């Protein structure tokens, strides 16, 4: 028992383990995640409906999307993709949650917009198509390791039209400062989120000051199995994010406080960036 508790409380190296795929593809947790996506009144897997609607309006206006091709990486159940398609953009949505993609396809078919939804891990996505705009919303970029982020930006550069843009949001250093290391144990941690069966849940929140990374490490102990889920979140300054884009051939156009175009605020816990592909 002591050895097991030591293992539960072990502090891994930054991005040493990557389990995001398990969270979104597990039968039980993927259902839970989709329900959070579709709850219009909370900021969880997706933001509140009123924010998404305002964000879609801003994106459509800022990027003049009518008739243009958009790729939405991590599209989930298509909340942005559907809204942008209604505004006459040609949208491709990529997500590795089969449950979310199935919902997105069904909703689009019943609602009218013609959207190409692809069930795939976006790290592996390849295409001969080129896009005018690439989206990665809800701080998905922060969940990727440095090597994965570089791979994604190189992929974005390769599939963008000359002068095309990327819009994504990230967690700020202000948010990093506000995080505190903690250890929590509860029966059925997060109100049964992790399993339909009884389980014992451990949450270890770890901060890596040099790397500006926060880890939520969940250890879920059920009668028949024990599993560990690693939720990594990289935090950025405007300078550190701009460097990552510049290294992959992008020029940052502007920073905002969110993907709805709110003016940039240093005290915001998140911020968004518009970056353009250099010719």
pLDDT, residue 248, reads 97
Write out pLDDT tens, residues 192-211: 999 999 999 999 999 999 99
C-alpha distances in Å from residue 167, one per residue of 59, 67, 74, 136, 198: 9, 18, 13, 7, 41
pLDDT, residue 31, reads 86
The model's pTM: 0.94
Half-sphere exposure of 90 (CA within 13 A, CB side): 7
Write out pLDDT tens, residues 115-147: 999 999 999 999 999 999 999 999 999 999 999
Write out pLDDT tens, residues 15-49: 999 998 777 778 898 888 877 766 766 565 567 88
- Asked whether 58 and 135 are in contact (CB, 8 A), the reply is no
Q: How confident is the model at residue 107 (pLDDT cuts 50, 70, 90)?
A: confident
pLDDT, residue 43, reads 60
pLDDT, residue 187, reads 98
pLDDT beyond 80 at 113? no
Write out pLDDT tens, residues 153-188: 999 999 999 999 999 999 999 999 999 999 999 999
Question: Residues 251-275: what's their mean pLDDT?
Answer: 97
Torsion of CA 245, 250, 253, 255, to 10 degrees: -10
Q: How far apart are CA 150 and CA 155, in angstroms?
A: 8
pLDDT, residue 47, reads 76
Q: What one-character-per-residue DSSP string does 249-267 give?
A: TEEEEEEESSTT-PBP-TT
Average per-residue pLDDT for the chain: 93
Write out pLDDT tens, residues 48-99: 889 999 999 999 999 999 999 999 999 999 999 999 999 999 999 999 989 9
- Asked whether 138 and 46 are in contact (CB, 8 A), the reply is yes
């Amino acid at each position: 028992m002591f050895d097991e508790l030591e293992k539960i409380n072990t502090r891994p190296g930054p991005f040493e383990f990557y389990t995001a795929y398990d969270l979104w593809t597990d039968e039980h947790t993927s259902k839970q995640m989709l329900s959070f996506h579709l709850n219009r009144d909370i900021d969880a897997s997706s933001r509140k409906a009123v924010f998404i609607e305002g964000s879609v309006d801003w994106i459509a206006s800022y990027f003049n999307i009518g008739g243009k091709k958009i790729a939405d990486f991590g599209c989930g159940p298509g909340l942005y993709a559907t809204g942008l398609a209604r505004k006459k953009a040609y949208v491709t949505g990529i997500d590795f949650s089969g449950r979310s993609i199935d919902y997105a396809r069904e909703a689009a078919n019943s609602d009218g917009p013609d959207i190409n939804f692809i069930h795939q891990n976006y790290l592996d996505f390849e295409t001969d198509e080129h896009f005018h705009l690439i989206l990665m919303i809800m701080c998905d970029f922060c969940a990727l390791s440095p090597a994965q982020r570089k791979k994604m930006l190189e992929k974005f550069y390769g599939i963008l039209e000359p002068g095309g843009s990327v819009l994504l949001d990230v967690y700020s250093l202000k948010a990093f400062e506000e995080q505190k290391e903690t250890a929590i144990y509860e029966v059925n941690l997060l109100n049964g989120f992790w399993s339909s069966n009884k389980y014992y849940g451990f949450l270890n929140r770890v901060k890596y000051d040099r790397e500006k990374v926060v880890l939520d490490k969940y250890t879920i102990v059920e009668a028949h199995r024990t599993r560990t889920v690693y939720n990594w979140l990289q935090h950025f300054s405007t300078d550190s994010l701009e460097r990552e884009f510049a290294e992959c051939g992008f020029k940052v156009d502007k920073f905002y406080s969110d993907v709805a175009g709110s003016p940039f605020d240093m005290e915001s816990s998140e911020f968004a960036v518009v970056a353009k592909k250099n010719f």
